[in-house]
Structure 1
Amino acid sequence: MSSHPESPFGNDLDEIDRIIIDELVSNARISNATLAQRASIAPSTALLRTRSLVERGILTGYHAEVSLPAVGRTVQALISVKLRAHDREKIDTFRERIPALPEVLSMFHVSGATDYMLHIAVGSTEALRDWVLDNLATDESVGHTETTLVFDHQLGNRGPLPVND
């Protein structure tokens, strides 16, 4: 049995993989030379190991983090959505339409009394009200919504869980 937990992809992550992932999560723009130095491996090995993580589906992309207030999206909200009926066609339409809207940051399908949680960012509380009215209250598949304003948002650990030896 490996001392490292197996990923859901059936790929064991060793210590070097974990270092590479942690460094890339911390700074996706890190140079390969610096990544190699921090992982105590050769730059060619760092490049091969990073490519392997991508090919294995463990690293799924690199992105720029945008300051939402800096681009005019100063109001964030979490909106719980309960669907009126669980008709597959309406669910599929909802699942395709909502995340494609430019205001939606994330959509989660959840258990419990709520069917979906939406994380959106808009320019004002008036824009938030209008967005809910235009996109949810008028949707025939939506039975109930509840909006919660986000005062602050802190990202947590986006990499693998620590290994307990």
Structure 2
Amino acid sequence: MGWACALPQVITREEDPSIVFPHFFEQPATELGAQGGTYELDGATLRALTVAANDFLPPGAKRPACWDRQESHRYRVIRHAEVIFVRIDEDPRACGQLTPAMHSGASYAISMDGRILRSLMDGQPDGALPSEPPGAGEDGVPAQPGVSSQSSETQGGPSHAPPISSPDAGVPRP
């Protein structure tokens, strides 16, 4: 068996402002790691999670504070066509707290080959142009989260990009 040496990962970023993030908390998620279940994760999704986690909280810090560790966060993944969306939020229970800090999460759109297509940190302006009502596409039809706000014909092919903003701002409160 040949084992490759782990090299530092180079993160490629494209920052496509036409991408709209899906609503990560619109439906319940299946919790991986729950007892009694068997789960399978494909390599592209694992890579997307790794790229997002390493960009948000780069590994290698010596004795990081609890909030600065990847394992102190929760991750949600939604896949639309060739884009994997990752949502990262603090897990207050991991650090003995009841609620997460404000602006403590991020959303990522990652391509199947591991490029960051768009990232948005909580509290960061989303860069959307306010010329249209929120969620409206070029033709006045509301854009769906997880798809491009531009039509496929305008872009010259099938769209992989979703609209920019999302009402998600972290872990929902009970």
* Interval of TM-score (by shorter of Structure 1 and Structure 2): under 0.3
TM-score, normalised by the number of residues in structure 2:
0.21
- TM-score under structure 1 normalisation? 0.22
Q: Could you say which structure has the larger radius of gyration?
A: 1
Higher RCO (C-alpha 8 Å, min separation 6): 2
